[in-house]
Copies of this chain bind each other. A is one copy, B any other.
Amino acid sequence: MSTRTVIYHMLRPDSVAVIGAAREPQKIGHQVVKNLIVGGFPKDKIYPVNPYANEILGLKCYPTVKDIPYKVDLAVIVVPAKIVPKVLYDCSEKGVKAVAIISSGFKEVGNVKLEKEIVEIAHKGGFRILGPNIVGICDTVKSVNASFCQGLPLPGNIAFITQSGALAIALVGWTKLKRIGLSDLVSIGNKADIDENDLIDFFGDDPNTRVITAYLEGIKNGKRFLEIAKKVTLKKPIVILKAGKAERTLGAIRSHTGSLAGSDIAYEAAFKQSGVLRASTFLELFDWAVALSKLSVPSGDNVVILTNGGGAGVMATDASEVYNIKLMDIPKDLAERLRKFMPPFGSVYNPIDLTGMANKEWYKGALKELLKDERVDSVIVLYCHTAVTKPKDIGDAILEAISETGIRKPIVVSLIGGEECLDECERLTSKGVPCYESQEKAVAALGALYEYKRNVERIKVRTIPKLVVNKSEVRNIIKEVIEDGRNVLTASEATVVAKLYGIPVLEKPLAKTLDEALSIANKVGYPVVLEVESPQVLHKTDVGAIYVNIKNEQELREKYNKIIENVRRKVPNADIKGIIVRKMAEEGKEVIIGMHRDPIFGPLIMFGMGGILVELFRDVSFRVAPLSIEDVDEMIKETKAYRVIKGFRGEPESDIECIKETILRVAKLAIDFPEISDIDINPFFVYEKGKGGLAIDVKIILRKD
């Protein structure tokens, strides 16, 4: 059975067994049975399992799951942790399709072994596990409250996946209060088996879900997440609240679920690359999700704000800048038509200010003009409660404008005021027009829709480059380094590796003797740089192991000997492999290109401004490899360095193509050799357009494990 099919049976089962069902009302085993009944799941398809009871809540009870004479789609387990393996064997014999384990006492309390064991039992038995340590499953499509959440959420088309159980229970109540409908609310707990990736993949094809949302503290398999999220985003929006940005948070997460959290930078990069919208609070997450679940993607960028309050218009304009909303300049003919719906002191400068005198007819008339005008793509309707017009009038104006024109463009609304506004807001939202308590929330929600639109357009085209490299020779070098008991490549080794991967790199020919050094210098041409090649010498300047701008043979002889002398004296244990004799490189613009292998997502590629600036301004951007050509383009443009290499203040443009290719080749090197933990090209000199670039220093470090 495919994972999707398993999840279908899990979330939308035809029958549910509750293993560990209890008679005592305070027990979770009792609550789950009760919640299933109260939630509206067919009573004759609920099978409590408890060897010591005949009946629970009026339902016949079975000693074991094997004793149930009917097909069992989903088994919910609430027995103590140590009994879980036993009942899983029963499930296996019974042939249940999916198992949700509410029981805790596994990895979250250090019991890693038991958690591994139950997954193995499940896989051998041909079924899959959700959990353990979950609150359960709430599905409104088939009315399945297989959880200890009090009541099901309201039905709707937003799926919510949560790694926090407490949040699951709390949000059932909160979303009800806010009248937000969910298709499913799934607690994933320790995600020993089924994880966020499986669920995102499932909801991606689920006709009952229009938006996928999640609260996550970590992602289990970063590579798979990227693949699935990219694919699903093209079908429907994914909004994730990924907690754990703060340094301290990592501590908090570890202490409470034992989840291995990758660096937040990697998450940020992965979300960008896969088109995932990242919310920073659950309020924001649901504000966005409501708009995304009700509106279709606008056809263009032109947004118009319609208001009866200048102040609300001003604040919405501020917010538009924050949320990347483009306010349209109103064309003259449209302005003329809008003038009919306002007093002489109204304004047709977007925001369109109908003034506090605005009544239902004006709102409706103006909105109809905006809907009918093909140049307008989306509308933000704002209303401050006045003595002149009731919120209900504004709601009617909007709904009538839509039905009378028959045109559906994205419209978001904010009705600002008291109880009446709140009621009308809920009515409008339920009619498919998302309404919010403040102008900023309305703008932010439309902003999320536009971000989704841009993301889809962006990730639709991804070109994977074809690069010719010499993999086998690099493999040999790495093998030698490992055999040598080292994890850091020497400068000349790293140079050779870079060269084999097609990265333009400053050659670092190695001289074993003074004569060799002289002959190399003659070949590359003076002035040259001399530096020691020795794994033990890390800070060459400090010990006098590097000299630059050596102008002639005499100077070379002198400095050659001096280096050897210095190193012998200051690093007595140094194994001197030779002396590098290299050209003085022509100076270019300094950039930095690097790679660090993230435990969750793999190779995290970095690009940014070089020199002192890297540290000071952190003008760097990141993406997870494998990289498409578009990824590289975007990551370069994200930095301020881009302005410098593009030709800043009249300076000529740099060879950006060369940077792009170097980044792609670094990414390929990281993909091809999982042994490499870090690559650091700093500085990389980039020259004028057409003249390429040069890696001056290349550091390559291997993983220690």
Contact = CB atoms under 8 A, between A and B. Distances in A.
Interface string A180-208: 00000000000000000000000000000
A166 B256 contact: no
A281 interface: yes
Interface string A134-166: 000000000000001010000000000011111
A302 interface: no
A420 B173 CA distance: 9
A421 B418 CA distance: 20
A416 B170 contact: yes
A648 interface: yes
Interface stretch (A3-11, A229-237, A612-620): A612-620
Contact of A416 (B150, B167, B257, B419): B167
A167 B649 contact: no
A308 B311 CA distance: 40
A513 interface: no
A189 to B, nearest CB: 11
A313 B256 contact: yes
A333 to B, nearest CB: 19
A644 B643 CA distance: 22
A275 interface: no
A103 interface: no
A321 interface: yes
A392 to B, nearest CB: 14
A356 B421 contact: no
A671 interface: no
A311 B384 contact: no
B416 A174 contact: yes
Interface string A373-406: 0000000000011110000000000000000000
Nearest to A245: B318
A305 to B, nearest CB: 9
Interface in A304-356: 308-315, 317-321, 327, 344-345, 347, 349, 351, 353, 356
Contacts of A68: none
Count copies of this chain in the complex: 2
Given A255-B349, A345-B108, A437-B283, A166 B384 contact: yes
A112 interface: no
A498 interface: no
A256 B438 contact: no
B318 A243 contact: yes
Contact of A246 (B177, B253, B320): B320
B148 A320 contact: no
A315 B108 CA distance: 19
B313 A252 contact: yes
A173 B387 CA distance: 11
Interface size class of A (residues with CB under 8 A): 35 or more
Contacts of A245: 318, 321
A31 B163 CA distance: 54
Contacts of A290: none
A113 interface: no
Most buried by B among A255, A349, A353, A619: A255
Contact of A251 (B255, B349, B386, B619): B349
A42 interface: no
Interface string A655-696: 000000000000000000000000000000000000000000
A308 B170 CA distance: 11
Contacts of A613: 613
A249 interface: yes
A531 interface: no
A667 to B, nearest CB: 27
A311 B168 CA distance: 10
A215 interface: yes
A535 interface: no
A171 to B, nearest CB: 8
A244 B166 contact: no
Contacts of A176: 418-419
A173 B385 contact: yes
Interface in A456-512: none
A224 interface: no
Interface in A539-593: none
A416 B175 CA distance: 10
B177 A317 contact: no
B309 A166 contact: yes
A387 B136 CA distance: 13
A387 B151 CA distance: 11
Contacts of A173: 385, 417-421
Contacts of A167: 309, 311-312, 384, 416
Contacts of A313: 252, 256
A34 B440 CA distance: 34
Given A164-B311, A418-B174, A169 B437 contact: no
Contacts of A320: 246, 248
A426 to B, nearest CB: 13
A440 B281 contact: yes
Nearest to A248: B317
A282 interface: yes
A266 interface: no
A387 B150 contact: yes
A187 to B, nearest CB: 11
A615 B386 CA distance: 46
A327 B248 contact: yes
A318 B249 contact: yes
A640 interface: yes
Given A109-B344, A249-B321, 16 more contacts: A28-B387, A166-B308, A167-B309, A167-B311, A174-B421, A174-B437, A176-B419, A249-B318, A252-B314, A252-B349, A253-B314, A256-B310, A256-B313, A281-B315, A615-B649, A617-B640
Nearest 10 interchain pairs by C-beta: A164-B311, A173-B418, A166-B309, A256-B310, A166-B384, A170-B384, A173-B417, A246-B321, A170-B416, A249-B317
18 contacts: A109-B344, A164-B310, A167-B309, A170-B309, A170-B417, A170-B421, A173-B418, A176-B418, A177-B419, A215-B311, A245-B318, A249-B318, A252-B317, A252-B347, A255-B349, A257-B310, A283-B437, A283-B438
